[in-house]
Amino acid sequence: MRYEARVTAYDVMDRVMVAVVVLEAGDIPQVSQRAVLTSTTTVQGSGESDPREWARDALIAALEAL
Q: Show pLDDT as tens, one digit a residue, over the chain (66 residues).
A: 789 999 999 999 899 999 999 999 877 766 768 899 999 999 999 888 899 999 999 999 999 999
CA gap 27, 5 in Å, rounded? 17
The domain of 51 spans: 2-65
The closest alpha carbon to 36, from 20, 50, 49, 56, belongs to: 20
pTM, rounded to two decimals: 0.82
DSSP bridge pairs for 24? 3, 34
Number of domains, the chain: 1
